[in-house]
Amino acid sequence: MCKQVLEDCIHFLHHLCVNRKAVSSVMLGIPYNHTVETPATFFLVGIPGLPSSHLWLAISLGAMYTISLLGNTLIMTVIWMDFTLREPMYCFLYVLAAVDIVMASSVVPKMVSIFSSGDGSISFNACFTQMYFVHVATSVETGLLLAMAFDRYVAICKPLHYKRILTPQLMLVMSVAITIRAVIFMTPLSWMVSHLPFCGSNVVLHSYCEHIAVAKLACADPMPSSLYSVIGSSIIVGSDVAFISASYNLILQAVCGLSSKNAQLKALSTCGSHMGVMALYYLPGMASIYVAWLGKDTVPLYTQVLLADLYLIIPPTFNPIIYGLRTKQMRKRIWSLLTHCLFDLSKLGS
């Protein structure tokens, strides 16, 4: 009798393992009528409704990506080689350049491939890896912008205490906290979408694995992951923007209290580059998120996709231009490095 009971248990466990996907589907509220198969690959269509513009988009994105790589690599090289650029602002700028390279490199090469050759296939794991890097990179970037705003506040409002406040230990703590916050907030989002059951189409109406576009393909309700995305991004971006606004409000009050016009202009010029970078990052990003969430029935799909694409390529392209041209110290160091390299190349050529 014990043998019969054991055989029945083994048979039951085998039956449960074979039909575990069906059980999951029932728990998710899906009318189960076949085995849910996870797709091996997804297919990214690019810009839905604008196939005639794909070649021009490939050229434009390729040019912007090249500028992004060259500009951010140049800034990282200059800061790394020049020991006089060890102030907190330049350390944060170094990390920002590295994050910009990661953010652009996670999506732009695949976009260019889609727009130029039509090769939109991407494996299941690669899709969610791309999604994860996009989420973490964008979250780290907003944290770095907050740290740079704090740096400007201390430099202008408390110049005599600058080195005592912004110590290397505090900078390390801020960098680690920014990274941990990004991982804690963004890991659940990619996990939630990747564990949805996919049993229908594998065609993603986007040019990269944007989570809402991928979640729409699931056989379960994508609302939890979409809601988590909006709430999480609103908390992170909202708190960062609030603190940045407070910092610049205090900076403007301090600048207006300066007696020297030259000092006022210098302080405003320094803050102007930071404000430009923040506008380039937050405006397209917030427009992309809230149009996708609130205006999905009124805004054409190609507009939503274009906004999401520009959000990931505009900041990495223009950040090095703004900081390289607006900061006199960086301008001198970049020019010195370029002339030195050109001089060495001319000596080798001769």
Q: Is residue 35 part of a domain?
A: no
Q: Is 36 helix (H, G, I), strand (E, B) or coil?
A: coil
- Distance between CA atoms of 121 and 177, rounded to whole angstroms? 36
Domain tally, the chain: 1
Q: Phi, psi at residue 122, to the nearest 5°?
A: -145, 135
- Distance between CA atoms of 58 and 113, rounded to whole angstroms? 8
Length of the chain: 350
pLDDT at 17: 39
The sign of the CA dihedral 166, 322, 95, 180 is: positive
- Distance between CA atoms of 324 and 104, rounded to whole angstroms? 19
What is the per-residue burial (b if ≥16 Cβ within 10 Å, else e) of 192-229?
A: bbbebbbbeebebbbbbbbbbbbbbbbbbebeebbebb
Q: Is residue 27 part of a domain?
A: no
pLDDT at 293: 65
- Distance between CA atoms of 24 and 191, rounded to whole angstroms? 16
Question: Which tens digit of pLDDT belongs to each residue from 257-291?
Answer: 777 777 677 667 767 777 777 777 887 777 776 67
Q: Is residue 2 part of a domain?
A: no
Q: Is residue 343 part of a domain?
A: no
Q: Is residue 33 part of a domain?
A: no
What is the radius of gyration, based on Cα positions, of the chain? 25
Q: Is residue 22 part of a domain?
A: no
List the CATH number of the domain containing 222: 1.20.1070.10
pLDDT (tens digit, 0 to 9) for every residue of the chain, 350 residues total? 444 434 444 443 344 333 433 333 333 334 434 445 667 789 999 888 877 788 898 999 999 999 999 999 988 888 888 777 778 888 888 999 999 999 999 999 999 999 998 888 999 999 999 999 999 999 999 999 999 889 888 988 888 888 899 988 898 899 999 999 999 999 998 899 988 888 878 899 999 998 888 988 888 888 888 888 888 888 888 899 899 989 888 888 888 777 777 767 766 776 777 777 777 788 777 777 667 666 666 778 888 888 888 888 988 998 888 877 666 777 777 777 777 776 666 666 65
Contact, 112 vs 58, CB < 8 A? Answer: yes
Which helix (H) or strand (E) segment is 170 a member of? helix 168-194
Q: Is residue 277 part of a domain?
A: yes
Place of tokens 């999480």: 232
- CA angle at residue 154 from 85 to 90, to 5 degrees? 20
- Distance between CA atoms of 123 and 143, rounded to whole angstroms? 31
Q: Is residue 26 part of a domain?
A: no
pLDDT at 325: 66
User: At 340, which amino acid appears?
Assistant: H
User: At 337, which amino acid appears?
Assistant: L
Q: Which structural domain range is residue 209 located in?
A: 40-336
- Distance between CA atoms of 77 and 46, rounded to whole angstroms? 34
pLDDT at 305: 87
- CA angle at residue 308 from 102 to 276, to 5 degrees? 70
Contact, 183 vs 236, CB < 8 A? Answer: no
Q: Per the structure block, which two tokens stand in for 48?
A: 């839905």
Name which of 66, 67, 51, 63 is nearest 114 in CA terms: 51
Name which of 92, 91, 130 is nearest 110 in CA terms: 130
